[in-house]
Protein backbone atom coordinates (compact mmCIF):
# COMPACT_ATOMS: atom_id res chain seq x y z
CA UNK A 1 0.00 0.00 0.00
CA UNK A 2 2.89 2.33 0.85
CA UNK A 3 4.12 1.99 -2.72
CA UNK A 4 0.61 2.52 -4.09
CA UNK A 5 0.12 5.73 -2.05
CA UNK A 6 3.49 7.01 -3.24
CA UNK A 7 2.79 6.07 -6.85
CA UNK A 8 -0.57 7.74 -6.72
CA UNK A 9 1.09 10.83 -5.24
CA UNK A 10 3.67 10.92 -8.01
CA UNK A 11 1.15 10.26 -10.76
CA UNK A 12 0.58 13.86 -11.78
CA UNK A 13 0.34 15.59 -15.10
CA UNK A 14 3.58 17.54 -14.65
CA UNK A 15 3.03 19.54 -17.82
CA UNK A 16 -0.18 20.86 -16.32
CA UNK A 17 1.35 21.29 -12.85
CA UNK A 18 4.20 23.38 -14.20
CA UNK A 19 1.81 25.51 -16.27
CA UNK A 20 -0.29 26.19 -13.15
CA UNK A 21 2.73 27.23 -11.14
CA UNK A 22 4.05 29.40 -13.96
CA UNK A 23 0.67 31.14 -14.25
CA UNK A 24 0.70 31.63 -10.46
CA UNK A 25 4.11 33.31 -10.63
CA UNK A 26 3.31 35.59 -13.54
CA UNK A 27 -0.09 36.54 -12.18
CA UNK A 28 1.37 37.23 -8.72
CA UNK A 29 4.03 39.52 -10.17
CA UNK A 30 1.67 41.30 -12.52
CA UNK A 31 -0.73 42.06 -9.63
CA UNK A 32 2.15 43.44 -7.52
CA UNK A 33 4.21 46.58 -8.11
CA UNK A 34 7.30 44.38 -8.47
CA UNK A 35 9.19 43.83 -11.70
CA UNK A 36 10.42 40.28 -11.20
CA UNK A 37 11.58 37.67 -8.70
CA UNK A 38 14.76 36.93 -6.80
CA UNK A 39 15.59 33.33 -5.94
CA UNK A 40 18.22 32.10 -3.52
CA UNK A 41 20.07 29.30 -5.32
CA UNK A 42 21.57 26.49 -3.29
CA UNK A 43 22.33 24.10 -6.11
CA UNK A 44 19.67 21.82 -4.62
CA UNK A 45 16.41 20.46 -5.95
CA UNK A 46 13.84 22.96 -4.69
CA UNK A 47 15.60 26.19 -5.60
CA UNK A 48 16.50 24.81 -9.03
CA UNK A 49 12.87 23.98 -9.74
CA UNK A 50 11.67 27.39 -8.50
CA UNK A 51 14.28 29.07 -10.69
CA UNK A 52 13.32 27.13 -13.78
CA UNK A 53 9.58 27.76 -13.27
CA UNK A 54 10.25 31.47 -12.66
CA UNK A 55 12.22 31.74 -15.89
CA UNK A 56 9.47 29.90 -17.77
CA UNK A 57 6.91 32.28 -16.27
CA UNK A 58 8.66 35.63 -16.56
CA UNK A 59 11.57 35.20 -18.93
CA UNK A 60 15.23 35.24 -17.82
CA UNK A 61 15.45 39.03 -17.81
CA UNK A 62 12.99 39.26 -14.90
CA UNK A 63 14.62 36.66 -12.68
CA UNK A 64 17.72 37.12 -10.52
CA UNK A 65 19.59 34.32 -8.77
CA UNK A 66 21.63 34.72 -5.60
CA UNK A 67 24.11 32.06 -4.59
CA UNK A 68 24.96 32.58 -0.93
CA UNK A 69 27.56 30.05 0.17
CA UNK A 70 29.18 29.78 3.57
CA UNK A 71 32.08 27.66 4.80
CA UNK A 72 29.72 24.68 5.14
CA UNK A 73 28.49 24.81 1.54
CA UNK A 74 29.76 21.94 -0.63
CA UNK A 75 31.71 23.28 -3.61
CA UNK A 76 29.67 21.10 -5.95
CA UNK A 77 26.49 22.93 -4.86
CA UNK A 78 27.91 26.29 -5.93
CA UNK A 79 29.03 24.77 -9.24
CA UNK A 80 25.58 23.28 -9.84
CA UNK A 81 23.86 26.58 -9.02
CA UNK A 82 26.18 28.59 -11.27
CA UNK A 83 25.85 26.18 -14.14
CA UNK A 84 22.03 26.21 -13.94
CA UNK A 85 21.97 30.03 -13.73
CA UNK A 86 24.26 30.25 -16.76
CA UNK A 87 22.27 27.75 -18.77
CA UNK A 88 19.05 29.68 -18.04
CA UNK A 89 20.79 32.96 -18.95
CA UNK A 90 19.66 34.78 -15.82
CA UNK A 91 21.45 37.52 -13.98
CA UNK A 92 23.09 35.94 -10.95
CA UNK A 93 25.46 36.91 -8.19
CA UNK A 94 27.58 34.93 -5.74
CA UNK A 95 27.82 36.53 -2.29
CA UNK A 96 29.96 34.70 0.24
CA UNK A 97 28.30 34.89 3.63
CA UNK A 98 31.24 33.62 5.72
CA UNK A 99 32.53 37.01 6.82
CA UNK A 100 29.03 38.15 7.83
CA UNK A 101 28.45 34.96 9.81
CA UNK A 102 31.79 35.40 11.60
CA UNK A 103 30.90 38.99 12.48
CA UNK A 104 27.67 37.88 14.14
CA UNK A 105 29.43 35.10 16.04
CA UNK A 106 31.98 37.59 17.38
CA UNK A 107 29.25 39.49 19.23
CA UNK A 108 26.64 36.77 19.91
CA UNK A 109 26.45 34.21 22.68
CA UNK A 110 27.86 30.74 21.97
CA UNK A 111 25.34 28.32 20.52
CA UNK A 112 24.64 24.99 18.88
CA UNK A 113 24.86 23.86 15.24
CA UNK A 114 21.11 24.22 14.95
CA UNK A 115 20.91 27.74 16.34
CA UNK A 116 23.86 28.81 14.19
CA UNK A 117 22.20 27.16 11.18
CA UNK A 118 19.06 29.19 11.74
CA UNK A 119 21.19 32.33 11.90
CA UNK A 120 22.76 31.48 8.53
CA UNK A 121 19.30 30.99 7.00
CA UNK A 122 18.24 34.41 8.35
CA UNK A 123 21.38 36.05 7.01
CA UNK A 124 20.53 34.62 3.57
CA UNK A 125 16.99 35.98 3.82
CA UNK A 126 18.33 39.42 4.77
CA UNK A 127 20.70 39.45 1.79
CA UNK A 128 18.03 38.20 -0.61
CA UNK A 129 15.55 40.89 0.48
CA UNK A 130 18.23 43.58 0.20
CA UNK A 131 19.23 42.60 -3.31
CA UNK A 132 15.62 41.99 -4.36
CA UNK A 133 14.55 45.44 -3.08
CA UNK A 134 17.27 47.14 -5.10
CA UNK A 135 15.87 45.52 -8.25
CA UNK A 136 12.25 46.02 -7.16
CA UNK A 137 11.82 42.24 -7.19
CA UNK A 138 9.88 39.95 -4.86
CA UNK A 139 11.52 37.01 -3.13
CA UNK A 140 10.33 33.60 -4.31
CA UNK A 141 10.52 31.04 -1.50
CA UNK A 142 11.70 27.53 -2.23
CA UNK A 143 9.93 25.49 0.47
CA UNK A 144 8.04 22.45 -0.77
CA UNK A 145 4.87 21.09 0.84
CA UNK A 146 6.68 18.38 2.83
CA UNK A 147 9.14 20.85 4.37
CA UNK A 148 6.39 23.39 4.92
CA UNK A 149 4.12 20.96 6.76
CA UNK A 150 6.75 19.35 8.98
CA UNK A 151 8.31 22.76 9.63
CA UNK A 152 11.67 21.85 8.13
CA UNK A 153 12.68 25.45 7.51
CA UNK A 154 13.89 28.42 9.50
CA UNK A 155 11.17 30.86 10.58
CA UNK A 156 12.02 34.21 8.94
CA UNK A 157 15.00 32.49 7.29
CA UNK A 158 14.37 30.32 4.23
CA UNK A 159 10.76 30.47 5.49
CA UNK A 160 10.75 34.22 4.80
CA UNK A 161 9.52 34.95 1.30
CA UNK A 162 6.79 36.70 -0.68
CA UNK A 163 5.40 33.83 -2.73
CA UNK A 164 5.74 30.06 -2.53
CA UNK A 165 5.66 28.56 -6.03
CA UNK A 166 6.20 24.91 -5.03
CA UNK A 167 4.61 24.77 -1.56
CA UNK A 168 1.69 22.88 -3.09
CA UNK A 169 3.95 19.95 -4.04
CA UNK A 170 5.41 17.26 -1.81
CA UNK A 171 9.19 16.74 -2.00
CA UNK A 172 8.82 13.53 -4.02
CA UNK A 173 6.56 15.36 -6.48
CA UNK A 174 9.07 18.19 -6.80
CA UNK A 175 11.67 15.59 -7.74
CA UNK A 176 9.40 14.22 -10.47
CA UNK A 177 8.63 17.74 -11.67
CA UNK A 178 12.36 18.51 -11.82
CA UNK A 179 12.90 15.57 -14.16
CA UNK A 180 9.99 16.77 -16.33
CA UNK A 181 11.53 20.26 -16.42
CA UNK A 182 14.90 18.92 -17.53
CA UNK A 183 16.81 19.92 -14.41
CA UNK A 184 20.25 18.24 -14.53
CA UNK A 185 20.33 14.77 -13.00
CA UNK A 186 23.11 15.72 -10.57
CA UNK A 187 20.67 18.15 -8.93
CA UNK A 188 17.59 15.92 -9.14
CA UNK A 189 19.36 12.97 -7.49
CA UNK A 190 21.26 15.03 -4.91
CA UNK A 191 20.44 14.16 -1.31
CA UNK A 192 18.39 16.96 0.26
CA UNK A 193 20.42 19.15 2.62
CA UNK A 194 20.14 22.70 3.92
CA UNK A 195 23.98 22.51 4.29
CA UNK A 196 23.77 24.73 7.36
CA UNK A 197 26.51 22.66 8.96
CA UNK A 198 29.00 20.12 7.64
CA UNK A 199 27.46 16.77 6.82
CA UNK A 200 23.87 17.91 7.48
CA UNK A 201 21.41 15.73 5.57
CA UNK A 202 17.68 16.35 5.70
CA UNK A 203 16.57 12.74 5.83
CA UNK A 204 19.18 11.87 8.46
CA UNK A 205 18.09 14.80 10.60
CA UNK A 206 14.42 13.95 10.13
CA UNK A 207 15.12 10.28 10.75
CA UNK A 208 12.95 9.28 7.79
CA UNK A 209 13.03 9.38 4.00
CA UNK A 210 10.66 11.59 2.05
CA UNK A 211 9.37 8.43 0.34
CA UNK A 212 7.96 7.59 3.80
CA UNK A 213 7.17 11.09 5.05
CA UNK A 214 5.15 12.07 1.97
CA UNK A 215 2.69 9.13 2.04
CA UNK A 216 2.23 9.77 5.78
CA UNK A 217 1.49 13.45 5.10
CA UNK A 218 -1.00 12.50 2.39
CA UNK A 219 -2.94 10.13 4.66
CA UNK A 220 -2.91 12.57 7.60
CA UNK A 221 -4.22 15.21 5.22
CA UNK A 222 -7.07 12.79 4.43
CA UNK A 223 -7.83 12.83 8.17
CA UNK A 224 -6.73 9.26 8.86
CA UNK A 225 -5.66 8.66 12.46
CA UNK A 226 -2.04 7.74 13.19
CA UNK A 227 -3.05 4.13 13.71
CA UNK A 228 -5.06 3.96 10.46
CA UNK A 229 -2.26 5.59 8.45
CA UNK A 230 0.38 3.32 9.97
CA UNK A 231 -1.69 0.26 9.20
CA UNK A 232 -2.34 1.33 5.63
CA UNK A 233 1.35 2.08 5.05
CA UNK A 234 2.61 -0.94 7.02
CA UNK A 235 4.73 1.35 9.15
CA UNK A 236 5.29 1.49 12.91
CA UNK A 237 2.69 3.83 14.49
CA UNK A 238 5.54 5.76 16.11
CA UNK A 239 6.71 6.94 12.66
CA UNK A 240 3.32 8.46 11.94
CA UNK A 241 3.11 9.95 15.43
CA UNK A 242 6.54 11.46 14.88
CA UNK A 243 5.36 13.20 11.69
CA UNK A 244 2.17 14.35 13.47
CA UNK A 245 4.31 15.83 16.24
CA UNK A 246 6.45 17.69 13.71
CA UNK A 247 3.33 19.17 12.10
CA UNK A 248 1.97 20.25 15.46
CA UNK A 249 5.22 21.68 16.82
CA UNK A 250 5.73 23.76 13.68
CA UNK A 251 2.20 25.18 13.40
CA UNK A 252 3.48 28.57 14.64
CA UNK A 253 5.81 28.74 11.64
CA UNK A 254 2.88 28.65 9.23
CA UNK A 255 0.95 31.45 10.92
CA UNK A 256 1.28 35.15 11.50
CA UNK A 257 2.22 35.81 15.14
CA UNK A 258 -0.82 35.82 17.42
CA UNK A 259 -1.93 39.20 18.75
CA UNK A 260 -3.45 39.70 22.20
CA UNK A 261 -7.18 40.28 21.84
CA UNK A 262 -8.08 43.18 24.09
CA UNK A 263 -11.77 43.23 23.14
CA UNK A 264 -12.87 39.95 24.68
CA UNK B 1 -15.87 64.76 15.75
CA UNK B 2 -12.16 63.99 15.23
CA UNK B 3 -11.55 64.76 18.88
CA UNK B 4 -14.56 62.71 19.93
CA UNK B 5 -13.39 59.66 17.94
CA UNK B 6 -9.94 59.98 19.45
CA UNK B 7 -11.30 60.45 22.96
CA UNK B 8 -13.56 57.46 22.56
CA UNK B 9 -10.57 55.47 21.31
CA UNK B 10 -8.49 56.45 24.32
CA UNK B 11 -11.28 55.89 26.80
CA UNK B 12 -10.30 52.38 27.86
CA UNK B 13 -10.03 50.66 31.17
CA UNK B 14 -6.25 50.34 31.06
CA UNK B 15 -6.14 48.24 34.22
CA UNK B 16 -8.30 45.68 32.45
CA UNK B 17 -6.43 46.03 29.16
CA UNK B 18 -3.08 45.38 30.80
CA UNK B 19 -4.46 42.38 32.69
CA UNK B 20 -5.78 40.92 29.42
CA UNK B 21 -2.42 41.34 27.71
CA UNK B 22 -0.54 39.92 30.68
CA UNK B 23 -2.81 36.88 30.69
CA UNK B 24 -2.23 36.51 26.94
CA UNK B 25 1.54 36.51 27.45
CA UNK B 26 1.57 34.04 30.34
CA UNK B 27 -0.93 31.71 28.69
CA UNK B 28 1.00 31.81 25.39
CA UNK B 29 4.26 30.90 27.13
CA UNK B 30 2.72 28.21 29.30
CA UNK B 31 1.17 26.54 26.22
CA UNK B 32 4.53 26.60 24.41
CA UNK B 33 7.71 24.67 25.23
CA UNK B 34 9.47 28.02 25.82
CA UNK B 35 10.63 29.28 29.20
CA UNK B 36 10.19 33.02 28.74
CA UNK B 37 10.32 35.93 26.30
CA UNK B 38 12.99 38.03 24.67
CA UNK B 39 12.21 41.65 23.82
CA UNK B 40 14.24 43.96 21.60
CA UNK B 41 14.49 47.25 23.49
CA UNK B 42 14.78 50.47 21.54
CA UNK B 43 14.15 52.89 24.37
CA UNK B 44 10.92 53.78 22.61
CA UNK B 45 7.27 53.56 23.61
CA UNK B 46 6.20 50.19 22.17
CA UNK B 47 9.12 48.06 23.31
CA UNK B 48 9.01 49.63 26.78
CA UNK B 49 5.33 48.77 27.14
CA UNK B 50 5.87 45.20 25.87
CA UNK B 51 8.74 44.81 28.32
CA UNK B 52 6.75 46.05 31.28
CA UNK B 53 3.74 43.86 30.45
CA UNK B 54 6.03 40.82 29.99
CA UNK B 55 7.62 41.39 33.38
CA UNK B 56 4.18 41.80 34.95
CA UNK B 57 3.07 38.57 33.30
CA UNK B 58 6.09 36.32 33.82
CA UNK B 59 8.29 37.94 36.42
CA UNK B 60 11.66 39.54 35.65
CA UNK B 61 13.54 36.22 35.75
CA UNK B 62 11.71 34.99 32.63
CA UNK B 63 12.21 38.10 30.51
CA UNK B 64 15.38 39.10 28.65
CA UNK B 65 15.97 42.46 27.00
CA UNK B 66 18.25 43.06 24.04
CA UNK B 67 19.39 46.55 23.19
CA UNK B 68 20.72 46.55 19.64
CA UNK B 69 22.02 49.99 18.73
CA UNK B 70 23.66 51.01 15.48
CA UNK B 71 25.43 54.20 14.47
CA UNK B 72 22.04 55.85 13.85
CA UNK B 73 20.66 55.12 17.33
CA UNK B 74 20.35 58.23 19.53
CA UNK B 75 22.40 57.80 22.71
CA UNK B 76 19.40 58.83 24.80
CA UNK B 77 17.47 55.81 23.47
CA UNK B 78 20.12 53.39 24.74
CA UNK B 79 20.16 55.19 28.10
CA UNK B 80 16.36 54.99 28.37
CA UNK B 81 16.36 51.29 27.47
CA UNK B 82 19.10 50.46 29.95
CA UNK B 83 17.49 52.42 32.73
CA UNK B 84 14.10 50.72 32.20
CA UNK B 85 15.75 47.27 32.07
CA UNK B 86 17.63 48.03 35.29
CA UNK B 87 14.57 49.35 37.06
CA UNK B 88 12.61 46.22 36.09
CA UNK B 89 15.53 44.02 37.21
CA UNK B 90 15.61 41.96 34.04
CA UNK B 91 18.57 40.30 32.42
CA UNK B 92 19.62 42.51 29.51
CA UNK B 93 22.42 42.74 27.01
CA UNK B 94 23.65 45.49 24.71
CA UNK B 95 24.89 44.23 21.34
CA UNK B 96 26.22 46.87 18.99
CA UNK B 97 25.13 46.04 15.45
CA UNK B 98 27.39 48.52 13.60
CA UNK B 99 30.14 46.07 12.71
CA UNK B 100 27.61 43.52 11.41
CA UNK B 101 25.86 46.17 9.31
CA UNK B 102 29.20 47.28 7.83
CA UNK B 103 30.08 43.69 6.96
CA UNK B 104 26.85 43.31 4.99
CA UNK B 105 27.35 46.61 3.21
CA UNK B 106 30.86 45.53 2.16
CA UNK B 107 29.41 42.67 0.11
CA UNK B 108 25.96 43.96 -0.85
CA UNK B 109 24.90 46.25 -3.68
CA UNK B 110 24.58 49.94 -2.93
CA UNK B 111 21.14 50.99 -1.77
CA UNK B 112 18.87 53.62 -0.27
CA UNK B 113 18.24 54.65 3.36
CA UNK B 114 15.03 52.68 3.32
CA UNK B 115 16.53 49.45 1.99
CA UNK B 116 19.45 49.75 4.42
CA UNK B 117 16.97 50.44 7.22
CA UNK B 118 15.10 47.25 6.43
CA UNK B 119 18.40 45.37 6.53
CA UNK B 120 19.12 46.76 9.99
CA UNK B 121 15.69 45.64 11.21
CA UNK B 122 16.36 42.13 9.85
CA UNK B 123 19.78 42.02 11.50
CA UNK B 124 18.08 42.85 14.80
CA UNK B 125 15.52 40.07 14.29
CA UNK B 126 18.34 37.61 13.53
CA UNK B 127 20.19 38.56 16.70
CA UNK B 128 17.05 38.45 18.83
CA UNK B 129 16.11 34.97 17.58
CA UNK B 130 19.66 33.74 18.15
CA UNK B 131 19.82 34.98 21.72
CA UNK B 132 16.22 33.92 22.43
CA UNK B 133 16.91 30.38 21.13
CA UNK B 134 19.90 30.00 23.44
CA UNK B 135 17.65 30.78 26.40
CA UNK B 136 14.73 28.75 25.01
CA UNK B 137 12.68 31.95 24.91
CA UNK B 138 10.14 33.21 22.37
CA UNK B 139 10.45 36.61 20.72
CA UNK B 140 7.80 39.12 21.72
CA UNK B 141 7.08 41.54 18.88
CA UNK B 142 6.54 45.20 19.63
CA UNK B 143 4.30 46.31 16.75
CA UNK B 144 1.16 48.18 17.75
CA UNK B 145 -2.12 48.04 15.82
CA UNK B 146 -1.52 51.29 13.95
CA UNK B 147 1.91 50.19 12.70
CA UNK B 148 0.63 46.72 11.96
CA UNK B 149 -2.32 47.94 9.87
CA UNK B 150 -0.49 50.58 7.86
CA UNK B 151 2.48 48.22 7.44
CA UNK B 152 4.95 50.49 9.20
CA UNK B 153 7.39 47.70 9.99
CA UNK B 154 9.96 45.61 8.17
CA UNK B 155 8.70 42.25 6.91
CA UNK B 156 10.79 39.59 8.70
CA UNK B 157 12.55 42.40 10.56
CA UNK B 158 10.74 44.00 13.50
CA UNK B 159 7.70 42.30 11.93
CA UNK B 160 9.28 38.92 12.70
CA UNK B 161 8.18 37.65 16.10
CA UNK B 162 6.33 34.83 17.84
CA UNK B 163 3.65 36.76 19.69
CA UNK B 164 2.28 40.29 19.45
CA UNK B 165 1.25 41.55 22.89
CA UNK B 166 0.21 45.07 21.86
CA UNK B 167 -0.95 44.57 18.28
CA UNK B 168 -4.53 44.97 19.49
CA UNK B 169 -3.90 48.57 20.58
CA UNK B 170 -3.57 51.66 18.42
CA UNK B 171 -0.45 53.78 18.95
CA UNK B 172 -2.36 56.47 20.85
CA UNK B 173 -3.81 53.78 23.14
CA UNK B 174 -0.34 52.34 23.75
CA UNK B 175 0.74 55.80 24.86
CA UNK B 176 -2.13 55.99 27.34
CA UNK B 177 -1.38 52.46 28.54
CA UNK B 178 2.28 53.41 29.05
CA UNK B 179 1.25 56.22 31.35
CA UNK B 180 -1.02 53.85 33.28
CA UNK B 181 1.90 51.38 33.59
CA UNK B 182 4.20 54.06 34.98
CA UNK B 183 6.62 54.04 32.05
CA UNK B 184 8.96 57.07 32.44
CA UNK B 185 7.64 60.24 30.84
CA UNK B 186 10.75 60.66 28.70
CA UNK B 187 9.81 57.45 26.91
CA UNK B 188 6.05 58.10 26.77
CA UNK B 189 6.49 61.54 25.23
CA UNK B 190 9.31 60.58 22.88
CA UNK B 191 8.53 61.06 19.21
CA UNK B 192 8.07 57.68 17.53
CA UNK B 193 11.07 56.66 15.41
CA UNK B 194 12.49 53.38 14.15
CA UNK B 195 15.89 55.26 14.14
CA UNK B 196 16.95 53.23 11.11
CA UNK B 197 18.61 56.33 9.71
CA UNK B 198 19.61 59.67 11.20
CA UNK B 199 16.68 61.97 11.81
CA UNK B 200 14.04 59.40 10.84
CA UNK B 201 10.72 60.22 12.48
CA UNK B 202 7.66 58.02 12.03
CA UNK B 203 5.09 60.78 11.71
CA UNK B 204 7.28 62.75 9.31
CA UNK B 205 7.79 59.67 7.14
CA UNK B 206 4.08 58.83 7.27
CA UNK B 207 3.15 62.44 6.64
CA UNK B 208 0.52 62.30 9.38
CA UNK B 209 0.29 62.18 13.14
CA UNK B 210 -1.03 59.12 14.94
CA UNK B 211 -3.73 61.36 16.44
CA UNK B 212 -5.05 61.55 12.86
CA UNK B 213 -4.10 58.09 11.63
CA UNK B 214 -5.75 56.26 14.53
CA UNK B 215 -9.23 57.82 14.17
CA UNK B 216 -9.03 57.12 10.43
CA UNK B 217 -8.13 53.47 11.11
CA UNK B 218 -11.02 53.17 13.56
CA UNK B 219 -13.57 54.48 11.08
CA UNK B 220 -12.21 52.37 8.22
CA UNK B 221 -12.42 49.37 10.52
CA UNK B 222 -16.11 50.27 11.02
CA UNK B 223 -16.44 49.97 7.21
CA UNK B 224 -16.98 53.67 6.55
CA UNK B 225 -15.95 54.75 3.05
CA UNK B 226 -13.06 57.18 2.64
CA UNK B 227 -15.53 59.99 1.94
CA UNK B 228 -17.67 59.21 4.99
CA UNK B 229 -14.64 58.92 7.27
CA UNK B 230 -13.14 62.16 5.95
CA UNK B 231 -16.42 63.98 6.47
CA UNK B 232 -16.83 62.66 9.99
CA UNK B 233 -13.26 63.60 10.92
CA UNK B 234 -13.29 66.90 9.01
CA UNK B 235 -10.20 65.84 7.10
CA UNK B 236 -9.31 66.04 3.42
CA UNK B 237 -10.44 62.83 1.66
CA UNK B 238 -6.92 62.39 0.36
CA UNK B 239 -5.66 61.76 3.92
CA UNK B 240 -8.08 58.90 4.36
CA UNK B 241 -7.29 57.55 0.90
CA UNK B 242 -3.61 57.69 1.80
CA UNK B 243 -4.20 55.54 4.89
CA UNK B 244 -6.36 53.15 2.87
CA UNK B 245 -3.57 52.82 0.33
CA UNK B 246 -1.05 52.03 3.10
CA UNK B 247 -3.33 49.31 4.44
CA UNK B 248 -3.77 47.79 1.01
CA UNK B 249 -0.12 47.98 -0.03
CA UNK B 250 0.99 46.28 3.18
CA UNK B 251 -1.56 43.44 3.17
CA UNK B 252 1.17 40.99 2.12
CA UNK B 253 3.07 41.80 5.33
CA UNK B 254 0.19 40.54 7.46
CA UNK B 255 -0.16 37.21 5.66
CA UNK B 256 1.84 34.04 5.20
CA UNK B 257 3.29 33.95 1.67
CA UNK B 258 0.80 32.66 -0.87
CA UNK B 259 1.42 29.17 -2.25
CA UNK B 260 0.59 28.12 -5.78
CA UNK B 261 -2.51 25.95 -5.76
CA UNK B 262 -1.83 22.99 -8.03
CA UNK B 263 -5.19 21.31 -7.43
CA UNK B 264 -7.46 23.79 -9.11
Question: For the segment B154-196, what is each residue's pLDDT rounded down to a tens digit?
Answer: 999 999 999 999 999 999 999 999 999 999 999 999 999 998 9
* Cα of B234 to nearest chain A Cα, Å: 28
Positive/negative CA dihedral, B137, B34, A220, B263: negative
What's residue A8's pLDDT? 87
pLDDT above 70: residue B92: yes
Q: How far apart are CA B103 and CA B99, in angstroms?
A: 6
Q: Are B106 and A99 within 8 A, CB to CB? A: yes
CA neighbor of B10 nearest in space, from B170, B224, B236, B237: B170
Band (pLDDT 50/70/90 cuts) for residue B5 is: confident
Band (pLDDT 50/70/90 cuts) for residue A20 is: very high
pLDDT above 70: residue A1: no
| Cβ–Cβ pairs < 8 A, chains A and B | 171
Query: In this structure, are residues A157 and A125 in contact, taking their beta carbons and an 8 Å threshold?
Result: yes
Question: For the segment A96-155, what is each residue's pLDDT rounded down to a tens digit?
Answer: 999 999 999 999 988 899 999 999 999 999 999 999 999 999 999 999 999 999 999 999
What's residue A42's pLDDT? 97
Band (pLDDT 50/70/90 cuts) for residue A31 is: very high
What's residue B226's pLDDT? 97
* Top-confidence residue, A263 or B98: B98
Q: Are A108 and B131 within 8 A, CB to CB? A: yes
pLDDT above 80: residue B1: no
Q: Are B100 and A100 within 8 A, CB to CB? A: yes
For the segment B46-66, the average pLDDT, to the nearest whole number, is: 98
Catalytic residue IDs of A? 46, 147
CA atoms within 13 A on the CB side of A23: 9
Which residue of A lies nearest to B24 if distances are taken between CA atoms? A260
Q: Which residues contact A56 (CB under 8 A, 6 or more apart)?
A: A18, A22
Band (pLDDT 50/70/90 cuts) for residue B244 is: very high
Which residue of B lies nearest to A145 if distances are taken between CA atoms? B259
Q: How far apart are CA A43 and CA A47, in angstroms?
A: 7
Question: For the segment B101-148, what is each residue's pLDDT rounded down to a tens digit?
Answer: 999 999 998 889 999 999 999 999 999 999 999 999 999 999 999 999
Q: Are B164 and A119 within 8 A, CB to CB? A: no
B69 secondary structure, DSSP code: -
Among B21, B66, B257, which would you mutate to test the A interface (most chain A Cβ atoms within 10 Å of its Cβ)? B257
Q: Compare CB distances from B133 to A12, A118, A127 and report the shortest one's residue.
A: A118
pLDDT more than 70, % of chain A: 100
Q: Are A255 and B256 within 8 A, CB to CB? A: yes
* Cα of A2 to nearest chain B Cα, Å: 22
Q: Compare CB distances from A168 to B103, B163, B261 and report the shortest one's residue.
A: B261
For the segment B50-79, the average pLDDT, to the nearest whole number, is: 97
Query: In this structure, are residues A37 and A164 in contact, taking their beta carbons and an 8 Å threshold?
Result: no
pLDDT above 80: residue A2: no
pLDDT more than 90, % of chain A: 91
Q: Are B260 and A108 within 8 A, CB to CB? A: no
pLDDT more than 70, % of chain B: 99
Amino acid sequence: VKKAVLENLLDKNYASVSKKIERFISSYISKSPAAGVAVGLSGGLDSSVVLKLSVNALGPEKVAGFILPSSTTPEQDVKDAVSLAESLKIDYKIIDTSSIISKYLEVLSGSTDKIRGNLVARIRMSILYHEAAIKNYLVAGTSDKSEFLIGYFTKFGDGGSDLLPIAGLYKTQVRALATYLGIPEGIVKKKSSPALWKGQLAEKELGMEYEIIDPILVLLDRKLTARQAAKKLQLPVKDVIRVQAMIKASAHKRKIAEAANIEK
